[in-house]
Every structure is written in C-alpha cells, then in structure tokens.
Amino acid sequence: MGLALLLLGCGKMGGAMARGWLASGAIDRVMIVDPHRPNDPVIATDSRVFWVSEAAALDELGALDAVVLAVKPQMMDVALTALASKLTGTPLILSIAAGKTIAYFRPYFAATVPLVRAMPNLPAAIGRGVTVCVASDGVTAAHQKLATDLLSACGAVEWVEDEKLIDAVTALSGGGPAYVFALIEAMTEAGVAVGLAPDLASRLARVTVAGAGELVHQSELSASTLRETVCSPGGTTLEAIKVLMEPDDGWQPIITRAIAAAARRAQALGS
Ligand SMILES: NC(=O)c1ccc[n+]([C@@H]2O[C@H](COP(=O)([O-])OP(=O)(O)OC[C@H]3O[C@@H](n4cnc5c(N)ncnc54)[C@H](OP(=O)(O)O)[C@@H]3O)[C@@H](O)[C@H]2O)c1
C-alpha cells in the first residue's frame, strides 16, 4: 500500500514536493490544506489529491504516514493550532519552515510523535535543491528513510545530528542561491565596465553561471579541478583568478564573513 500524506501549505515549496510525490507513484493520497485550491495542472487533476481550504474543515483524516508543514513561519502558529487537534496516531511530522525549531513544534504534538526539521533551498522549487534535516528523539531509521524519500522530490537530502548546525546550513545552502544571484549581478556590472552593453553582459553572466552550475552538477571532478581546467598558464582567466584568490581581499575572506553573518542572524532569529 502507498503512503497517505497531509501537506499543510501548498505554495512554492509544498507544491514542488507534491508534484514530485505524485510523480513517484509511491503515494495513495495527499490531503492538501491551503487557502487556495491547487491550480497546478499535475496536482489539480490527480485523483489521489484532496484539498481543503483550512484545517478546521478537516474531518475523518484516517491514518497518515506523514504530515508535511510547508506554511510560512509566521503562519505556523495559526496553522498548527487548527491542525493539531485533528491528528490521530503518530504520523511523522516533517517541517520545512525556516527558523522553527524542534522545541517549537513539540507542544503541538504528543510526546511520541516523531519530528523532523528540514531546511531546503530555493532550487527545491524545480527539484534541484538541497535539504538538510535533523531528527527529534524517537525518530527511527524508518522515519528517516520516509523523510528522505519525501524530500528527495526537491533534490538532494543530507542529515545532521546537531540541530545547532541548521543555522550554519541556513547560512550556506539556505541563502546560497542569493549569493549566486548576487554574483550574476556583479559579473554583469563588471562586464559593462569593460565595455559590453548591459543586456548582453546580463545574458552572458546568467548563462555562464547556469552552465557552470550544470557542469559542476554533472561532473565528478572537484570545483578546484574544474577551475584549474579553465585556467591555462599565462592565460586571461588566471589573471582574474589571481585577483579573486587574493588571501586578504579576495573572495575567501568576503564569503567567509558573509556566511558567518548569516549564521549569526539565523542563530539570533531562532533563539
Ligand atoms: N522559498 C524558499 O526559498 C524557502 C527556502 C527554505 C525554506 N522555506 C520554507 O518553506 C516554507 C514554505 O515557503 P514557500 O516559499 O513555499 O511559501 P508560500 O509559497 O507562501 O506557500 C505557503 C502556502 O501556505 C498557505 N497558507 C497560509 N496560511 C495557511 C494556513 N493557515 N493553513 C494552510 N496553508 C496556509 C499560503 O497561502 P497564502 O499565500 O494565502 O498565505 C501559501 O499558499 C516556509 O516555512 C519557508 O520558511 C522556503
């Protein structure tokens, strides 16, 4: 028999997961709770999907394997208050909400309910993200496998044992896509500074970053080996790389500072 799931919040992230689950064929039914009726054609037309606009409208839920929490963090209190009283049994609770700790969720559920907190990133919306998970006490290997299977709909899945590391994960992979978008902006501006028209510079920067990302994705070589293959001795790229790898004012100290700042902020928001 396949899985029975409840998805609380079917926006960008929840919708991406639901599409992946339905495509996997491992699902018997998905109950979606969201104020908006799903309009994604894959979700809207699938006979395994049931939709209600709010948790208060849920009645006979039946046995659930997992409840996936994918509403915005600021909506979580209201959404959980409405949902928690409707749940029976001990389904796996899987949250992808940024900044909401396992301790935050605990009072809403029975002590025996297994909780997994996960931190995805934006490319999850196209199935190419990376999600890092941490488990509460009582989460078994079978629960971990279920969480991994469910989150694989959004891309790669990693686990950490210490919840404090989620702040570091938030700073690296959570915010990472924004750093790459900022790189595209900076490359565009630098291209204009050496004489390219802004539109052309923007297209070149965008496609270059996308292509390099895809190459890293497909290649088994390390990033440094790939970098070295582009840098011929005495060539032009090496000149730029020398500037970027200056120990005092190259990328490393800046990126280290940026990610440390994000980690500090994640920690402050979570406490
Ligand atoms: N997007 C990212 O890059 C990213 C990265 C890491 C983690 N996350 C986490 O993923 C979660 C979902 O983010 P998202 O970007 O998918 O948000 P989203 O697109 O806004 O989706 C959330 C959905 O939940 C609905 N909703 C609001 N209140 C609800 C309630 N009481 N019950 C049920 N559904 C309700 C929203 O409807 P309305 O639009 O009407 O409010 C919306 O359709 C967040 O907790 C976020 O922290 C997102």
Domains, the chain, in order of start with CATH, read: 3-162 (3.40.50.720), 174-270 (1.10.3730.10)
226 lines ligand 1 (CB under 6 A): no
Residue 186 pLDDT exceeds 80: yes
**Structure confidence by residue, pLDDT tens digits, 212-230:** 999 999 999 999 999 999 9
Q: Which of 32-41, 59-68, 189-198, 218-227 has the lowest mean pLDDT?
A: 59-68
pLDDT of the residue at 62: 80
155 lines ligand 1 (CB under 6 A): no
- The pLDDT value given to residue 125: 85
Spatial separation of the C-alpha atoms in residues 190 and 192, rounded to whole Å = 5
Residue 16 burial (10 A CB sphere; 0-12, 13-18, 19+): buried
State how far the Cα of 34 lies from the Cα of 54, in Å rounded to an integer: 6
Between CA 93 and CA 76 the distance in angstroms is: 13
Is residue 15 in contact with ligand 1, taking CB distance under 6 Å?
Answer: no
Atom of ligand 1 nearest to the CA of 14: 16
For residues 106 and 125, the model is more confident at 106
Q: What is the pLDDT of residue 1?
A: 66
